[in-house]
Amino acid sequence: MLKIAVKRIYEDVSPDDGFRVLVDRIWPRGMSKEHAALDLWLKEIAPTTELRQWFHHQESSPENWQIFCGRYREELRHNPEPVKLLLQHCSEGAVTLLYSAKDTDHNQAIVLRDYLSGQQAP
C-alpha cells in the first residue's frame, strides 16, 4: 500500500513527510525555496492553467468540485509520465504532496493522492 500524505506547503516540515513534492503549477506566494524543503517540484502533474482558472472562478459547490475532480483525473490519464514518476517515488517510501491552496478539503493534491492510490506502483 502506498503511503501518500497531503499537506499545505506553509505547514512545518516533518521527518514523517518523506519525499516532499510540490504539485502546484505556480510557485507558492511568500515561500522561499529553502523553507519549502522540496525534493521535487512536479509542475507537470498540476491541473492545467485552464482547469485551475475555471475552478477558481466557479461558485464553491459540491457539483463544481465533482466536475473539477473528473476533469483533473482525465488530465492525469492523458499525462502518464509525471504520474509514473510520482508512483516510482511512492513505491520507494512515504511521499507528501504539497499544495498552496487555502482550502484544505478541495484542492488538486487530494484528487492526485486518491488517483495515485488507485494506480499500480511500478
> Span 61-76, mean pLDDT?
92
Rounded Cα–Cα distance for residues 107 and 117 (Å): 16
- For residue 86, what is its C-alpha cell? 510520482
- Quote the pLDDT of residue 61: 77
Which residue would you say has higher pLDDT here, 56 or 15?
15
Rounded Cα–Cα distance for residues 74 and 59 (Å): 22
Rounded Cα–Cα distance for residues 28 and 105 (Å): 18
The reply to whether the predicted model has a pTM over 0.85 is yes
3-state secondary structure of 95: strand
Q: Which amino acid is at 24?
A: D
- Quote the pLDDT of residue 120: 62
- Quote the pLDDT of residue 62: 82
Instruction: Tally the residues of the chain.
Output: 122
User: Which of the four pLDDT bands, split at 50, 70 and 90, describes residue 56?
Assistant: confident
- Quote the pLDDT of residue 63: 86
- Quote the pLDDT of residue 32: 93
> Span 41-59, mean pLDDT?
90
Does pLDDT of 122 surpass 60?
Answer: no
User: Which of the four pLDDT bands, split at 50, 70 and 90, describes residue 121?
Assistant: low
Alpha-helix residue ranges (DSSP H) falling in 1-122:
33-36, 49-56, 62-77, 80-92, 108-117
